[in-house]
Structures are given as structure tokens and as C-alpha cells.
Amino acid sequence: MYFQQFYDHDLAQGSYLIGCQASGQAVVVDPRRDVRVYLEAAAAEGLRIVAVTDTHIHADYVSGARELAAAAGAELYLSDEGGPDWRYAFDHRGLTHGSVIRVGNVTLEALHTPGHTPEHLALLVTDGARSALPSHLLSGDFVFVGDVGRPDLLDAVAGGAGTRFEGARRLFASLRDRFLTLPDHVQVWPGHGAGSACGKALGAVASSTVGFERLTAWWAPYLAAGDEAGFTTALLEGQPDAPTYFGRMKRVNRDGPPVLGDRGPLRRLSSGELRGRVNRDLVLVDTRTVAEQRSGSVAGALAVPGGASFATYAAWVIDPDVETREIVLLATGAEHARALSERLTRVGIDGARGYLTSVEGLEVAPLPLLRPEGGDALAGADVLDVRTASEHAAKHLPGARQIAAGNVLARLQELPRGRRLVVHCQGGGRAAAVASALRNRGFANVVELDGSLDVWLERAGHAPGGAAPSGGAMAGGAEGVSAT
């Protein structure tokens, strides 16, 4: 059996290629949307992708299952569990509990494991050429290394009401009746790792085993004691902020992502072709570092640093449901622009059509910053903390309102347009993206903090490790935020 994980560090997401060398056939599980990587990997191993599947309707990225099935001429297998509201709305071969996908001597048995979502399947892999015993569990968002999938996303982003409690109950049952009945030797390969918002305590290592999770996972004592109520309380507290775009991902993946095919290269544009058009008939995404953007930025451009979190940040500030304008990327060259465009498609942003290699020739100006030295720079300002609720609870500036970066655009009505708005995070990247999106949408007096949050806390008379008291500077009053 051939087994390979593909890991996207931006989305902390894992997908898998599993093949039978004897038959030359392979299956891909939970693919991302830029599917060339799977086709090339399979070809390099002498394998042909004949089956593609997803463990569930994903919330954090656009599935590439439909794209890959079309590109490879493969069968598309998807869950038919969970009831009519959770059925995929496009053609596929349905999987239910006990269904089997065969690729030569390798079988993938579908285990219905609801809780994170109602239709969720885990896939139990057996290499029949070697043993009748299963060897791997592709657990999707059911079981992570050290954690389990959160059951509250349907409430948080998909319009549910109170579904988290039923989800927690079903997750407890799935752990008891599915996961813990498997042999201890079975390797567990999840759909996400540390950094994903699909759970609260995901491990940073790639895989685990059933036996190790049975011994060490935070949830194991609750299962051993049959304590469903305690499990539910512990599971639901402290879950990270769910970005607004997760709801869009759910809809797209259920209804069927458009098949992109080969879109060809992006057009290289000159500064003259963009002059006077930024934030009018096109969107300029500035992918330079925060420092470069601060030294000189084009008015109306979106600041989305092109580092490890590029796709995530872009999904916070670009909503393709309402953004119909052409997207132009500020990139170092054609290959860089292509790679950035592919990363955007992973979160359903398909509108990139061109790129620019420099802002030379465009009107640029330094971005407004507040520096920590001298005077009370924050006096009279409204402070917006775009870190997570748990980060804010641990330490924050006096009077700061917390709205996680991924939720700001959905809550613009809470922010003042007539006063100075100071946006900050921990290191500057999240604040840069949000501040640019606010300026892009007509907030005229938006500034960012220069220097680390810890420096500003020291200026405010608070030790960096401790929480500062909340105030009420932001319009709408203070908002006490806790880790729960």
C-alpha cells in the first residue's frame, strides 16, 4: 500500500493519497482545490486516481473532491448520512455506514461518526495484501491528535440554534461506539492539525494511534467514566472564534464548488493599467510584508501578507458572494502570482485575473501608525483588538473591544465611523488585513499600533502577562470577553 499525506500549513489541513501498487489504482481523501499536486504525485508512483472522497462537508476550505474527480476521470464518493439537510446537492456515489471503497487490494470502510457534523464519515483503511487487520483511520474532523472536532460550528456559522448540545451527545457516542472499539494499533490520520479553528487543542504532530488517544486525550477520562455531561461541558468551553467565512464554505461544499479546470496564466499588468481603478472596478491585494505595506501603500488596497496565512487572511477580507470585481495580486512574478491565486481558490476566491510586480508608478502613502513613545497615544481613541477571545482574555489594552479578525466584516455596524479607530493584534499581520479592509469600506480614520502589544501594555501600566481591565471606550459599551 502506498500512503502519502499532503499538508497545507495555511489552513492546517491534511489530505491523503492511498494507492495499491499491484493494481496501479489510488484514492484521494479530503483534497484541496488546486488538484495538480495529487495528479503529479500519483503519476510519479505509477498510480491512477480512480476514486475521490471527502470525510464531510468542510467548513474551512473549498473541497477539491469535485475538481479532482473531473480532472482524473475518477468516481466521486460522498456521504449520504445525516438526513436530507446534509446531503450533497450534486451527483456522486453515496456512502453510508459500512460502505466500502476499493482500490485494488486496499479498502476504505466508511464509519458514520456524527458529532462535528451530522453526515461525517471516518474511513478505516485495510491493506488486504498484507493483513486482514485495519491499519489506518482517516478520521477527518472526528478525532484529531489530542482533540476532537468541535460540535458548535453549525450554531456559530451555519444558522443552527442549540445544535452544539446534540452534536456533543452524538460525538460522545461516536467515540464510544466507533473509535474506542478499534484496535489500539490503528494509526489515526486527521483532517487538521494545530492552528485549525475546527477544534481547540489540536496537536502539532501529524498522526497518533487509537491506543495513544485512549490513554492521553483530554476526553478519554470522560469516556472511561461514561460521563457524557462532563464531556459536553469540557468540549464546549474555550472553543476558538469561528470565522464568518466558514458558513460560506459549508454552503459551497454542500451545493457543489464550480469546477475550475485549467484557467491559464494570470495577466501581468502595468501600473498605468491600474491607475485610478483600485477599489473602483478592481481589487488590489497587496501581498508584501507588513513593514513594506506600512512604508507605502496604495489607497484602497487590501493588505494580505503573502506568508503562511495568506488564504486565511484573504478569506477574512474578501467575500466572493458579494465581490464581483476582478482581483489583481501584487506579486514578485508570474509563478508567485500563480501560487497565490491557487491558494485563494482553496477558500473559494476565484476572481484573481492579473498581477502587478511593483507599486512604482502608483500613488502611494505611508499608512497611519501610533507609536508607543511620548504622550497618551490612545487617549480618546476606540481600540479594536482583532485577536481571538482567548488571547484577549489573557491580556488586553484598557477599553479594547474584541472582535476576532475573521468576524470583523460581519460586525461593521458595531464600529464607529466618525472617530479614530485603533486596530491591533499581537504581531501586526491580522491588524494590517483588518485595518485595510476597514479603510477599503470607507472608515476614514483607521490607524494601527506600531510595536508589540506587550510594549503597549507596559506603557499602560500593565504587565504583559496579565489582563488589563476592560473599559467602555468603544461605541456600544464594553464587552467582557472570556475564554468560554
- The CATH number of residue 377's host domain is 3.40.250.10
In a domain, 34, yes or no: yes
Q: Are strands 352-356 and 326-330 parallel, antiparallel or unpaired?
A: parallel
Q: Which residues pair with 51 in a beta bridge?
A: 27, 75
Task: Mark whether 39 and 140 lie in a shared domain.
Answer: yes
In the structure, what pLDDT confidence band is assigned to residue 462 with cuts at 50, 70 and 90? low
Tell me the average pLDDT of the chain.
91
pLDDT in tens, 279-303: 999 999 999 999 999 999 999 999 9
Q: Domain range spanning residue 421?
A: 369-459
> 153 CB contacts (<8 Å, ≥6 apart)?
59, 116, 117, 198, 242, 246
User: Would you say 150 and 199 are in contact if contact means Cβ atoms under 8 Å apart?
Assistant: yes
For the chain, what is the domain count?
3
Separation of alpha carbons 140 and 247, rounded Å: 18
Indicate whether this model's pTM tops 0.85: yes
Answer with the one of 221, 255, 289 that is the final residue of a domain.
255
Q: Which of 145, 254, 384, 303 is nearest to 392 (CA)?
A: 384
In a domain, 467, yes or no: no
Task: Mark whether 375 and 354 lie in a shared domain.
Answer: no
Answer with the one of 329, 349, 365 that is the final residue of a domain.
365
pLDDT in tens, 366-413: 999 998 865 567 877 899 999 999 999 999 998 999 999 999 999 999
Task: Mark whether 227 and 302 lie in a shared domain.
Answer: no
Q: Which residues pair with 244 in a beta bridge?
A: none
Task: Mark whether 397 and 380 lie in a shared domain.
Answer: yes
User: Is the per-residue pLDDT at 310 higher than 60?
Assistant: yes
pLDDT in tens, 36-82: 999 999 999 999 999 999 999 999 999 999 999 999 999 999 999 99
The CATH number for 174's domain is 3.60.15.10
Other beta carbons less than 10 A from residue 9's beta carbon: 11
Task: Tell me which amino acid residue 141 is.
Answer: D
In a domain, 484, yes or no: no
Separation of alpha carbons 45 and 190, rounded Å: 23
Task: Mark whether 251 and 316 lie in a shared domain.
Answer: no
Cα→Cα distances 303→130, 433, 467, Å: 52, 5, 29
In a domain, 219, yes or no: yes
pLDDT at 160: 67
pLDDT at 475: 36
Task: Mark whether 96 and 187 lie in a shared domain.
Answer: yes
Cα→Cα distances 175→152, 193, 237, Å: 17, 19, 19
pLDDT at 266: 97
pLDDT at 481: 24
- E strand or H helix at 223: helix 220-224
In a domain, 352, yes or no: yes
Task: Mark whether 314 and 385 lie in a shared domain.
Answer: no
Answer with the one of 201, 231, 255 that is the final residue of a domain.
255
pLDDT in tens, 321-366: 999 999 999 999 999 999 999 999 999 999 999 999 999 999 999 9
What integer is the mean pLDDT of 118-136?
Answer: 97
User: Is the per-residue pLDDT at 305 higher than 50?
Assistant: yes
In a domain, 378, yes or no: yes
The residue with cell 502587478 is: 356
Task: Mark whether 382 and 311 lie in a shared domain.
Answer: no
